[in-house]
Amino acid sequence: MSKTVRKLRPSDYWRIGEHESWFSELAAKGLHLKKMGIHFARFEKGQPKNMRYRIEVSLKKRIASEQIDIYEESGWEYVTSYQSFHVFSSPSDSDAPELHTDPAEQSFTLKELDKKLTMNASIATLGMILLIGMMFAIWFLDGTPTFVMVEGGVMQQSILSIFLGYLAYTSLQAAISIRTLRKDLKEGKPINHHAPWKKHYRLHSMIAFLFTFAMGLSAIIPFYQLVKMDTKTLPEESSHLPIVRLADVEKNPALVRDESSYMSDNVDWGNRYTYQWSLLAPVQYETDEVGVVPGKVWADESGEYAPSIHTRVYHLSLAGMADNLIEDLIKRHAYDYRAEDVVTTNHPGFDLIRVHEKEETKEVFASKGKVVIYVRYHGYADLHSVIENVEEKVEYF
């Protein structure tokens, strides 16, 4: 009973001489070609034989039976086809004449394939340019590429873009290679049927592994992010969460939670925390909290005193991203002021701390090691109280 063996192809399909050489070397080891696929070839294990293989090019997926008969009469047996390439074999000792004895004439058999591959390369290149433009806009349009990476929302698209970019590159390479081969044939240079293939085989195997891993990762990451993401109502009492709480900043025993203004899925979105995960920031928290002090009003008498706090916490995979993330957070949250208005200050508890204060609003952007915390507080507590609580939470990690 024959045994089937599958092997990864050594190179791209347009490398005709390398494929012919590969088929011959495997036949000498007892592996005889039976079927070619997009990435793998199927062989049947048998007795070692010295075989010659030749590839005929045609735009038709099926080669005409009349042509097969003509080649068989010349000693070449039809083996298989893949895309526009049709494989024939002959024992080395049969002295069967070459399928093409005139290289210049053989070049004409590649004319239609040359046109097709040129068109494919043009379309792929145009598509890649459009994709690069789209990804550039996502990453850099608002000037916060580190924030975009850390949030993790475009990681899948970025991996997919790299994959599509490689496909565009191979399409262009195929068009150039076939054009070069035609030129060589016109000049009377025949195809090298013993072209070395091992170098491209190793390269092709490595690229195939990397892209298989990357595409698998791009498929898993979004699902994992959805599984990890969770939003809940903040507990009123202080909890184990590494976030700055409104009560800790206010330090007013009369402070109570404000009535919910928006409830959905049993979550009070005015007093909630959201947990998220990304490859570059495995721990992320975003929180909102609103309170009220009964009987106390704002200084401008606009209503009952209702302080609020918003927090973002990131535990990064790489500490080197912290400073850039702070700069991006400043750009994201500088609503009614310039980023230059955020002041850098010295504090022994942080690697970097930048603050902004305008009337009742105090903002702190701080980092230590791999931890980045942003807090926007609106109320009458002083900035020192906010910084003090941020320092305490940084030590949580």
Residues 177-226 have pLDDT tens digits of: 899 999 999 999 999 999 998 888 888 788 878 878 877 877 788 888 88
231 vs 343: CA distance, rounded Å? 32
Per-residue pLDDT tens digits for 47-96? 999 999 999 988 777 788 888 999 999 999 999 998 889 999 999 998 89
Strand partners, 263: 268
pLDDT for the residue 29: 95
Q: Residue 381's pLDDT is what?
A: 95
Mean predicted confidence (pLDDT) in 155-174: 82
pLDDT digits (tens, 9 = 90+) for 16-35: 999 999 999 999 999 999 99
What distance in Å separates the CA atoms of residue 370 and residue 395, rounded to the nearest whole number? 11
How many Å apart are CA 243 and CA 253, to the nearest integer? 19
Strand order in the sheet with 51-57: 51-57, 85-91, 77-82
Strand partners, 31: 45
Q: Rounded to an integer, what distance in angstroms lies between the CA atom of residue 273 and that of residue 233?
A: 6
Cβ count within 10 A of residue 172: 18
For residue 30, the tally of other CB atoms under 10 A from its CB is 15
Distance (Å, whole) CA 335 – CA 342:
12
Confidence of residue 2 (pLDDT cuts 50, 70, 90): low
Nearest in space to 67 (alpha carbons), one of 50, 51, 82, 86: 86
Instruction: Please choose, from the candidates 163, 145, 164, the residue with its C-alpha nearest in 3D space to the C-alpha of residue 154.
Output: 145
pLDDT value at residue 210: 83
Global pTM value? 0.73
Which tops the pLDDT comparison, 363 or 3?
363
Q: Which residue has the higher pLDDT, 254 or 132?
A: 254
Q: State the helix-helix crossing angle for 198-228 and 155-186, rounded to 10 degrees.
A: 160
Q: What pLDDT was estimated at residue 211?
A: 79
Please enumerate in sequence order all residues whose Cβ is within 8 A of that of 72, keeping only pairs 6 or more positions apart, or say none. 78
Of the candidates 317, 31, 296, the one whose C-alpha atom is nearest the C-alpha of residue 150 is 317
How far is 392 from 397, CA to CA, in rounded Å?
10
- Evaluate whether 288 touches 310 at the Cβ level (below 8 Å): yes
Q: How far apart are CA 389 and CA 396, in angstroms?
A: 11
Q: Grade residue 386 by pLDDT with cuts at 50, 70 and 90.
A: very high
Tell the residue number behind the tokens 């290289």, with chain if given: 103
Task: Report the C-alpha gap between 29 and 46 in whole angstroms.
Answer: 9
Q: Could you give the CA distance from residue 193 to residue 19 in angstroms, rounded to a whole number?
A: 8
| pLDDT tens column, 294-322 | 999 999 888 899 999 999 999 999 999 99
Residues 6+ away with beta carbon under 8 Å from 41: 6, 7, 9, 33, 35
Q: Which of 84-98, 204-218, 355-369, 380-394 has the lowest mean pLDDT?
A: 204-218
- Rounded-to-integer distance, Cα 34 and Cα 202, Å: 23
Per-residue pLDDT at 104 exceeds 80: yes
Q: Is the pLDDT of residue 8 over 70?
A: yes
Question: Which class is 229-394 in CATH?
Answer: alpha beta
Between these two residues, 90 and 131, which has the higher pLDDT value? Answer: 90
Mean pLDDT of the 378-391 span: 95
Region of 295 on the Ramachandran plot (φ > 0 left; ψ -120 to 50 alpha; else beta) = left
Instruction: Please state, for a pLDDT cut of 70, what percent of the chain lies above it.
Output: 99
Average pLDDT, stretch 363-374? 96
CA distance 128 to 134: 10
Q: Residue 1: is its pLDDT beyond 60?
A: no
Asked if 90 and 79 touch (Cβ cutoff 8 Å), the reply is: no
The whole-angstrom separation of Cα 380 and Cα 376 is 13
**144/120 Cα distance (integer angstroms):** 35
